[in-house]
Amino acid sequence: MAVKERPAPIPSVRRLPLYLRYLKALPPQEHTHISCTRIARELGQIPIQVRKDLAVTGINGKPKVGYPVSLLIRAIEDFLGWDRSSEAFLLGAGSLGMALMEYEQFQHLGLRIVAAFDIDPGKIGRRVNGVAVHALDALPAVVRERPVLIGILTVPGEAAQEIAQRLTEAGVRALWNFTPATLAVPEEVVVENVQLSCSLAVLTSRLRMSPEGVHRSGPRG
């Protein structure tokens, strides 16, 4: 019987793209191998963390030599599934939705937005960066043709829950939530939140704690 393997720690998964970007930017022929010491130094981390993170991809380094760069790149891409491409729907063709449709880097992240949906008649029928904007009501029909697993939510917060429901009913299994809403979904559906308010809360509270934060009146007035 196989030992049940633990899933990779989420924080490690979250850091993998940083390593990948760094590795891909390395001068191609300069080194065939790289150590976690060096990666850590360049990215402001500590070596042991890099080592642990890279280990989740299954890569094997050599003592004293380090990790083979090209194999390491492939191992991360493979682990993240970025070598093959996942299709996604985008819900809400407002300015944020438009920005995501125009974001060329997604092709390197294994993501392809194949259709957008909106309720604004002025947007329906348009094409943005090659992607057609459909009426929201066309969702079931479009899904039937193309069983897409990922939905990107860039609708107003008030509409988010209803759209999430329509998506999961249509068979979408993962929601990338850019709205401020907290989504209630069936437990088999994955939700990843990109909530600006949450991120901003951390930024401002850390700024306030920092030596020269928002308040000019610090510890010593």
Question: Which of a copy of itself, DNA, none does 61 bind, CB closer than 5 to 8 A by kind?
Answer: DNA
| Minimum distance from residue 154 beta carbon to a copy of itself (Å) | 9
Question: Which of a copy of itself, DNA, none does 110 bind, CB closer than 5 to 8 A by kind?
Answer: a copy of itself
Residues 6+ apart with CB under 8 A from 129: 101, 102
Would you say 93 or 115 has its CB closer to a copy of itself?
93
Contact 115, 131 (CB under 8 A): yes
| Minimum distance from residue 149 beta carbon to a copy of itself (Å) | 7
CA 22 to each of CA 37, 49, 56, 154: distance values in angstroms, whole numbers, following the listed order = 14, 16, 18, 29
Q: Which residues bind DNA (CB under 7 A)?
A: 9-12, 35-38, 46-49, 51-52, 54-55, 59-67
Question: Which of DNA, a copy of itself, none does 160 bind, CB closer than 5 to 8 A by kind?
Answer: none
Contact 194, 176 (CB under 8 A): yes
Residues 6+ apart with CB under 8 A from 36: 47, 48, 50, 51, 54, 61, 66, 67
Give the whole-angstrom CA distance, residue 99 versus residue 106.
12
Would you say 32 or 129 has its CB closer to a copy of itself?
129
| Minimum distance from residue 13 beta carbon to DNA (Å) | 9
Cα angle: 61, vertex 62, 68; to 5 degrees: 55
Would you say 55 or 159 has its CB closer to DNA?
55
Phi-psi region of 89 (alpha: psi -120 to 50; beta: other; left: phi over 0): beta
Question: Which of DNA, a copy of itself, none does 9 bind, CB closer than 5 to 8 A by kind?
Answer: DNA
| Minimum distance from residue 57 beta carbon to DNA (Å) | 10
Q: Which residues bind a copy of itself (CB under 8 A)?
A: 7-8, 10, 13-18, 21-22, 43-44, 79-82, 86, 94-96, 98-99, 102-103, 105, 109-111, 149-150, 157, 173-174, 176, 180-182, 184, 188, 190, 192, 194-214
| Minimum distance from residue 215 beta carbon to DNA (Å) | 23
Would you say 138 or 214 has its CB closer to a copy of itself?
214
Question: Which of a copy of itself, DNA, none does 141 bind, CB closer than 5 to 8 A by kind?
Answer: none
